Amino acid sequence: MKAICFYFHIHQPYRLKKYRFFDIGNDHYYFDDFNNDEIITRVARNSYIPATQMLLDIIKNNGKKFKVAFSISGTAIEQLQQYVPEFIDLLKELVATGCVEFLSETFAHSLASLRDLEEFRRQVKAHDEMIYQLFGQKPKVFRNTELMYDDEIATWVAGLGLKGMVTEGAKHILGWKSPNYLYASESAPKLKLLLRNSKLTEDITARFNNTEWESYPLTADKYMGWIADLPQEEQVINICMNYETFGEMVPRESGIFEFFKALPIYAAQKGIEFWTPSDVITRLKPVSHLSVPFPMSWSGEARDTAAWQGNLLQQEAITKLFSVAERVSLCEDRSLKSDYYRLQSSDHFYYMNTSGVYAFSPYSTPYEAFTNYMNVLSDFIVRVEEQYPLSIENEELNALLTTIRNQANEIGDLKREVELMRNNIIKDDEKPAEEAPAKKAAPKKATKKAAAKPEADEKPKKKAAAKKEK
């Protein structure tokens, strides 16, 4: 029995407006609202909404046999709630079928897993809380930004209590091994690894509409035939792709929607099932452990992280950004924290890549992207310094804030104690007036009787003495 695990990713960053050097200290709003609105609305109309409606139709026709998984960044959800709220409602309808699983990830689709453990934890927690509030699911499987993974990240993810992780089935890691098995992490043996089958994924995302491809046109029957022909012992094929593949990256006119609708029909004919990531880690046992000493991703031929931190521009920007992570986490300014998340999206650093031509950049050159981002970041750091001066070391700042919080807690405890004593005094004063004397009255009466008794005893003695004298 073979199974396909379909996983779709949705992410949109908050794109920055043109921010000049002279805006530093004067303008604290950094984002291009018009561009963000236009892009996410267009993508939702062309891709997200029709693709979700397609999944609803497939589930309606195939019941619980068809299942998929989603990973949606917090920045994408925020923009969808603001600009395309009907898509969130459609997702809730999809969740109600019971055939959808949401994965955990960093809130801002950030590079925190490469730089800062505490910031990484904060973002995962914020993301998973949002997923629970919106869709009622507590994610059990993690999907990192751009499928980034190494042994250290595995220990961090396992430390958060997550059971599995989706990552790339990179050839330089697997060697002769196949990605079509369940693996476990070498550094965190309890963390199970689902590896993307890049060939079968890119047959859809990159080659489906390529008329020069030797296998063009790709049909559902042909695709399922390839999967059925894999060795019998290979039990799970993880197909991980961006959701905008449907209708945006691969246009509707190519037949991508019809192709996908037909997949369950041919899968049933060949005895192929559809599982969620949680199904995979529950039903299968890992065949081996994988060690990944250096970070990898699903990008480029090398499957490394060079697209985001491969040059000095990117490294300078990332270092400066995470230098204030601890200070931002300590502040109570919600707008400052929100801006910090938005500035962490990996897209900002992707635009600074100088090693090749990459699409989707709003800048004409990587140097323009770097200059604009650093101007914004400079103003942001000014705002952080207004709350916590950079002249104070992080350790000293932590100690001071801990002292302040401890004092505040102590004052709070003392106030509660005073209030409790005040309430007890008021209760005593409000007791009925006769209640207290009533309790004391009994001994007083007993005392009078006791005092009267000797007088009564002395009367017969006096009479006897008088008779004697007579």
Q: Where in the sequence numbering do the catalytic residues fall?
A: 146
Burial of residue 137 (CB within 10 Å: 0-12, 13-18, 19+) is middle
Contact 290, 178 (CB under 8 A): no
For 283, half-sphere exposure in the C-beta direction (CA atoms, 13 angstrom radius) is 16
Q: Sign of torsion, CA 50 52 58 60?
A: negative
| Cα gap 440→436, rounded to integer Å | 7
Contact 380, 31 (CB under 8 A): no
Contact 25, 382 (CB under 8 A): yes
| Cα gap 292→130, rounded to integer Å | 30
Angle at 451 between CA 445 and CA 457, to 5 degrees: 130
Burial of residue 448 (CB within 10 Å: 0-12, 13-18, 19+) is exposed
